[in-house]
């Protein structure tokens, strides 16, 4: 059977909910033993309890010392999915220094911290996979997303750098760049900012993708499974847009 991960140990960050949880579930179903790493340890444990073969650990992935301590206790890691991230709204003029630093810390430093914690071990054990969650915001101009776009552009740059530096050690590193994905975050954002107009604004956001809808978390997870599997053994240093035609068909 293809796309099997039997005997592999995977770590997915920010996986208590949303896209990360969908990825953790798909990797589990493919036979991997998954560790959910999330700032909210209680939510992570609840999520892990609903999966086939998963553990959970609380960790602030923006804190290098904490990442080093937590990852040292995980043992062998064959697959790392850097999914943890937060949103950032505003232009260069309206983004505060505090907001900029917060987005950078979570979205950029977490990828550095977690990748740094596993990559040499992967190289020593004969290879591994690092998969980073980027965004179309990292390679296109989206209005009012200055800090978020900055962070995802950095994620792409780190992806290419890791892939190049560890080619000979058989550590593959790729990225997925989704357009809008329908998660609980989207519903919460609409409820907070557009009370009473949630359905109307949801349709507007969905229509921004030429395909006419948002992606579902499971669709991102299915692509993640491919990139983490041996069937993608010839793929490294790649950014996969999961964008409903945004780049090629927009307008």
pLDDT, position 4: 98
129 in any annotated domain: yes
204 and 224, same domain (yes or no): no
Neighbours of 138 (CB within 10 A): 22
**Which is more confident, 34 or 246?**
34
Catalytic residue among 112, 148, 166, 240: 148
User: DSSP per residue over 69-108, as a string?
Assistant: HHHHTS---SEEEE-------B-TTT--HHHHHHHIIIII
148 is catalytic: yes
pLDDT, position 193: 81
209 and 95, same domain (yes or no): no
210 and 140, same domain (yes or no): no
pTM: 0.95
* Full domain range(s) for residue 192: 187-214
CA distance 36 to 39: 10
CA distance 26 to 14: 15
CA distance 71 to 54: 15
232 in any annotated domain: yes
pLDDT band at 251 (very low <50, low <70, confident <90, very high): low
Q: pLDDT tens-digit profile of 70-120?
A: 999 999 999 999 999 999 989 999 999 999 999 999 999 999 999 999 999
Provide the number of structural domains found in the chain.
2
Comparing CA positions, the residue from 181, 186, 116, 107 lying closest to residue 150 is: 107
Q: pLDDT tens-digit profile of 29-58?
A: 999 999 999 999 999 999 999 999 999 999
154 in any annotated domain: yes
pLDDT, position 1: 86
């Amino acid at each position: 059977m293809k796309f099997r991960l039997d005997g592999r140990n995977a770590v997915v960050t920010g996986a208590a909910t949303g896209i990360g949880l969908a990825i953790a579930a798909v990797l589990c179903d493919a036979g991997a033993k998954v560790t959910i790493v999330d700032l909210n340890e209680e939510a992570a444990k609840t999520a892990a309890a609903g999966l086939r073969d998963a553990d959970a650990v609380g960790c602030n992935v923006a804190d290098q010392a904490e990442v080093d301590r937590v990852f040292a206790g995980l043992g062998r890691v064959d697959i790392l999915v850097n999914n943890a991230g937060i949103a950032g709204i505003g232009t260069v003029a309206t983004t505060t220094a505090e907001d900029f630093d917060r987005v950078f810390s979570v979205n950029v430093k977490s990828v550095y911290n977690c990748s740094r914690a596993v990559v040499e071990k992967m190289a020593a054990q004969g290879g591994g996979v690092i998969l980073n969650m980027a965004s179309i915001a990292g390679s296109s101009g989206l209005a009012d997303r200055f800090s978020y776009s900055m962070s995802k552009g950095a994620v792409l740059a780190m992806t290419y750098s890791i892939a190049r530096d560890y080619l000979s050690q058989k550590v593959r590193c790729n990225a997925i760049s989704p357009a809008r994905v329908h998660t609980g975050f989207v519903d919460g954002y609409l409820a907070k900012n557009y009370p009473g107009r949630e359905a109307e604004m949801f349709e507007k956001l969905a229509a921004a993708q030429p395909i006419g809808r948002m992606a579902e978390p499971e669709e991102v997870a299915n692509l993640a499974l491919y990139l983490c599997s041996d069937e993608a053994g010839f793929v490294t240093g790649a950014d996969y847009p999961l964008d409903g035609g945004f780049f090629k068909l927009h307008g």
